[in-house]
Amino acid sequence: MSGGPLIVQSDKTLLLEVDHPDAKACRMAIAPFAELERSPEHVHTYRLTPLGLWNARAAGHDAESVVDSLIKFSRYPVPHALLVDVAETMDRYGRLQLVNDPGHGLVLRGLDKIVLVEVAKSKKLAGMLGAKIDDETIAVHPSERGRLKQALLKLGWPAEDLAGYVDGEAHPIDLAEDGWTLRSYQQEAVDGFWAGGSGVVVLPCGAGKTLVGAAAMATAKATTLILVTNTVAGRQWKRELIARTSLTEDEIGEYSGERKEIRAVTIATYQVLTSRRGGTYPHLDLFGARDWGLVIYDEVHLLPAPIFRFTADLQARRRLGLTATLVREDGREGDVFSLIGPKRYDAPWKDIEAQGWIAPAECVEVRVTLTDAERMAYAVTEAEERYRVAATARTKLPVVKALVDKHPDEPVLVIGGFLDQLHQLGEYLDAPIVEGSTTNKERERLFDAFRAGELRTLVLSKVGNFSIDLPEAAVAIQVSGTFGSRQEEAQRLGRVLRPKADGRQAHFYTVVSRDTIDTEYAAHRQRFLAEQGYAYTIVDADDILGPALPQID
């Protein structure tokens, strides 16, 4: 027995003892290949998955280094079957390669001829492969490069894409030299992306993903298409690019519901690109409108399915995905891997916090006891409506107000998922509401007032889940959400993690109705926070309000 910090189990779970003196070194060693599932106070749980091991292979880690790390840090002998499985799983990556052959163009090359025969017979590859050139090589239709990678991943034989990238239309882009430099982890993220040519960078909200994108653009020095979640996020990108690079306003176009500008750098919303007319997607032509040298996908975990289909045709372009979490509620992480690229850089939230780049956060769940009338309404409600009834209980209103009053000198966001509840809160708190129907002009006016400190409390609908530039938000109060979405929890916590000028702590509250499905969904959403090392404290609403609960009519 080595006495190491890691317990490696035959079901592919890894248990890491946080307080062990070698815990940090172990975490750094296993992070490239193991997926963190839970990280409460004392023991963190990781899991070995094929996708995680293939991500590691794509980043240059071999099976020998993975096995060595497991043996080095394990407290007990590592199950032999697990070591064999790790080696064989990682060995599946790269047995097939996509390359450009001088005489035949794009081809699928088999370093293992038998694997090539096996996949060539699969009906799932029908129409993607051309003629057999020799025993090791099959022609590939260039337009099928992306779909082929998707299909091979699902067959368990992920191809290594060595076919290279076109440089695209050159365009001068430099980082501005005005007293700022990339942080070390941002530079590492850019270097990791560029070494692979395409892939995903995972950084917490507030850690400067936009600057990573800007630095990648300055490296590419080419026309760039940037895809964002909404118009407000797009204008935030535009402001940052003008401030941080040599780009001028005239060089950056907005392609949204309001404007259709195509310029050397074009920022487009997922929403307009996925809008349908007569069963077709007329705006997807934007992908071919210029000879793009780089395509950036902001919040890549939210990438809509139609964009996946079109991204399959963009495999000759360099592609950078930016996100705070690779969790997708639709389970399509494999499509991100095959179509955008493997994970090239991932910085744990707590590490960035320890360096002072994001604010430390206190996470608190406040449990509210419903009135008898509310409990009866919940009890007799049909199952599919129960979450809405529990999440929007009016008993939450005075609790939210007490939390707002608890932070009199700090900017507060109140975030929810049901519009009738948000309008109640807006009236109760005498605070403006930003929802989907709020015009972009009005949103920006309210956000500017919030940033300037003229407005202290803002009520947000789901538009608050995305890249909205609210750098000084110090408190977030979540009253309802999208069922058990961990993805949403990541976005909402991120709203308050941007570093505070005075170093003060961020506060993230979730107000939950006791003895209802609201608590179950809250627990599921909080899994993301546990994965990142944040612990929730649970308090009773009485601790916030005092024993006399105000009555709500």
Q: Which of 177, 280, 298, 295 is nearest to 234 (CA)?
A: 298
Region 11-27 average pLDDT: 92
Distances (CA, A) of 59 to 193, 196, 341, 439: 10, 8, 11, 43
pTM to 2 decimal places? 0.75
What percent of the chain stands above pLDDT 90?
A: 46
pLDDT at 548: 45
Rounded to a whole number of angstroms, the CA Rg of the chain reads 25
Query: Residues 6 or more apart from 536 whose CB is under 8 A from it?
Result: 363, 364, 365, 510, 526, 529, 530
- The answer on 209 and 72 residing in a single domain is no
Residue 262 has a CB neighbour count (10 Å cut-off) of 14
- The answer on 102 and 60 residing in a single domain is no
Q: Which of 308, 221, 314 is nearest to 270 (CA)?
A: 308
Contact 310, 270 (CB under 8 A): no
- The answer on 512 and 384 residing in a single domain is yes
- The answer on 256 and 142 residing in a single domain is no
Q: How confident is the model at residue 469 (pLDDT cuts 50, 70, 90)?
A: low
265-307 pLDDT, tens digit each: 999 988 888 888 877 777 877 888 889 999 999 988 778 777 8
Region 448-470 average pLDDT: 75
Q: Which of 67, 92, 117 is the last residue of a domain?
A: 92
11: three-class secondary structure by DSSP? coil
Is the pLDDT at 75 greater than 90, yes or no? yes
Type of residue found at 487: Q
- The answer on 106 and 70 residing in a single domain is no
- The answer on 306 and 424 residing in a single domain is no
Sheet of 160-161, strand order? 129-134, 137-140, 105-110, 96-101, 160-161
- The answer on 473 and 431 residing in a single domain is yes
186-209 pLDDT, tens digit each: 999 999 899 888 999 988 777 888
Is the pLDDT at 67 greater than 80, yes or no? yes
- The answer on 216 and 323 residing in a single domain is yes
pLDDT at 549: 44
Residue 260 has a CB neighbour count (10 Å cut-off) of 14
| Joined tokens for residue 242 | 């003008």
- The answer on 315 and 202 residing in a single domain is yes
pLDDT at 328: 66
| Joined tokens for residue 543 | 């601790």
Whole domain around residue 113: which residue ranges? Answer: 96-161
Q: Which of 126, 161, 196 is the last residue of a domain?
A: 161
| Joined tokens for residue 536 | 């929730």
Torsion region of 386: left, alpha or beta (phi above 0 gives left; psi -120 to 50 gives alpha): alpha
314-338 pLDDT, tens digit each: 888 999 999 877 766 667 788 888 8
pLDDT at 1: 41
The DSSP result for 154-172, as a single string, is HTT-PPEE-S-----SB--
Dihedral angle, C-alpha 256, 261, 262, 263, nearest 10 °: -120
Could you give the residue ranges of the DSSP H alpha helices within 328-479?
333-335, 349-354, 372-379, 386-391, 396-406, 419-429, 440-452
The DSSP result for 177-244, as a single string, is -SS----HHHHHHHHHHHHHSEEEEE--TTS-HHHHHHHHHHHH-B-EEEEESSHHHHHHHHHHHHHH
520 or 68, which is more confident?
A: 68
Query: Residues 6 or more apart from 75 whose CB is under 8 A from it?
Result: 1, 2, 3, 4, 5, 6, 7
Residue 170 lies in a domain: no
Is the pLDDT at 158 greater than 50, yes or no? yes
Is the pLDDT at 470 greater than 70, yes or no? no
SS3 content of the chain, % helix, strand, coil (to 5): 40, 20, 35
Q: Are strands 252-255 and 160-161 parallel, antiparallel or unpaired?
A: unpaired
pLDDT at 494: 65
Torsion region of 155: left, alpha or beta (phi above 0 gives left; psi -120 to 50 gives alpha): alpha
pLDDT at 213: 96
Q: What single-letter DSSP state applies at residue 464?
A: G
- The answer on 519 and 417 residing in a single domain is yes
Residue 172 lies in a domain: no
Q: Are strands 13-17 and 6-8 parallel, antiparallel or unpaired?
A: antiparallel
- The answer on 116 and 85 residing in a single domain is no
Query: Residues 6 or more apart from 530 whose CB is under 8 A from it?
Result: 38, 39, 40, 536
- The answer on 394 and 315 residing in a single domain is no
Q: Which of 72, 92, 112 is the last residue of a domain?
A: 92
Contact 225, 292 (CB under 8 A): yes
Q: Which of 163, 115, 109 is nearest to 137 (CA)?
A: 109
| Number of folded domains that form the chain | 4
CATH classification at residue 491: 3.40.50.300
Residue 550 lies in a domain: no
Distance (Å, whole) CA 216 – CA 189: 9
